[in-house]
Amino acid sequence: MADTTVVQIYGNQELIKKMEYLGGFISSPRFRAVLNDAGQYYVDRAKASAPISRNPGSRGLIAGGALRSSINYDIQNFGTYAVTLRVGAGGPGARYASYVEFGTEPHGPILPVRAQAMHWMEDGAGRSVNFNVYKGRTTPKNWSDVFAKSITQHPGTRAQPFFFEHLQPTVDRLMMALQRVLTEQMNRGTP
């Protein structure tokens, strides 16, 4: 996972004492359910916020869903006080996740790697478009070919936050669920 949020609860002595009083709570199905709920809540919100490619016919999120598919969670060290809920985005299929989240600074120069010139297509408004879909077909009339030996200055990309903005609502939900479940367990006196 390239971009990862880790939620660890530690240092709250009152919470730890309640969990110790309940003995097996830390390894109970109810505690796992609370963690699964928080993890899935974070993933669902992040996936809903992940931007969708606007290039027609793009192999990006519209067809393949690489960025959205890369958002997941897992629970580590369950049954111990070192339990960790990890939520991440990115990885081999979407290494660009952090660039989407934080954007990129202006940079340059950009030089061709395996050719003498770079080639891309622009629409009528001068925006780069994904033309791989149109290979072997008629290109839309308002698109134009652009060739360059180098790009002296790339303007960078704007940030499109989709991931970290969901941390606080998820922590709030997790803490409320833990409080509710622990209160129920304490009142019953069973894990």
Query: Residue 90 is encoded by which pair of tokens?
Result: 């990115």
Contact 175, 115 (CB under 8 A): no
Per-residue pLDDT at 176: 93
Query: Does residue 45 sit in the same domain as residue 89?
Result: yes
DSSP H helices, 22-125, are 29-49, 66-69, 97-102
Query: Does residue 70 sit in the same domain as residue 130?
Result: no
Say how many domains are in the chain.
2
Query: Does residue 133 sit in the same domain as residue 58?
Result: no
Query: Does residue 32 sit in the same domain as residue 116?
Result: no
Query: Does residue 51 sit in the same domain as residue 125?
Result: no
Query: Does residue 14 sit in the same domain as residue 98?
Result: yes
Choose between 16 and 89: higher pLDDT: 89
Query: Does residue 89 sit in the same domain as residue 171?
Result: yes
Rounded to an integer, what distance in angstroms lies between the CA atom of residue 183 and that of residue 175? 12
Rounded to an integer, what distance in angstroms lies between the CA atom of residue 73 and that of residue 87? 4
Query: Does residue 8 sit in the same domain as residue 22?
Result: yes
Rounded to an integer, what distance in angstroms lies between the CA atom of residue 185 and that of residue 65? 41
pLDDT band at residue 1 using 50, 70 and 90 as cut-offs? very low
Which phi and psi (to 5°) does residue 89 adopt?
A: -140, 145
Per-residue pLDDT at 61: 39
Contact 187, 21 (CB under 8 A): no
150 half-sphere exposure, CB direction, 13 A CA radius: 7
pLDDT digits (tens, 9 = 90+) for 28-42: 898 999 999 999 999
Find the domain containing 136 and state its range.
Answer: 106-156
How buried is residue 15: exposed, middle or buried, by Cβ count under 10 Å (0-12/13-18/19+)?
middle
Number of H helices, E strands in the chain: 5, 6
Query: Does residue 40 sit in the same domain as residue 94?
Result: yes
CB atoms within 10 A of CB 135: 7
Query: Does residue 41 sit in the same domain as residue 83?
Result: yes
Name the pTM for this structure.
0.71
Rounded to an integer, what distance in angstroms lies between the CA atom of residue 160 and that of residue 165? 11
Contact 130, 56 (CB under 8 A): yes
For residue 56, whether the previous peptide bond is cis, meaning omega lies within 30 degrees of 0, is no
Query: Residue 52 is encoded by which pair of tokens?
Result: 């969708």
Query: Does residue 61 sit in the same domain as residue 122?
Result: no
Q: Which SS3 state, helix, strand or coil, does residue 175 take?
A: helix
Per-residue pLDDT at 15: 64
pLDDT digits (tens, 9 = 90+) for 76-131: 989 887 888 999 998 887 888 898 899 999 888 888 888 888 887 787 777 777 65
Query: Does residue 33 sit in the same domain as residue 89?
Result: yes
| Least trusted range by pLDDT, from 68-77, 147-156, 180-189 | 180-189
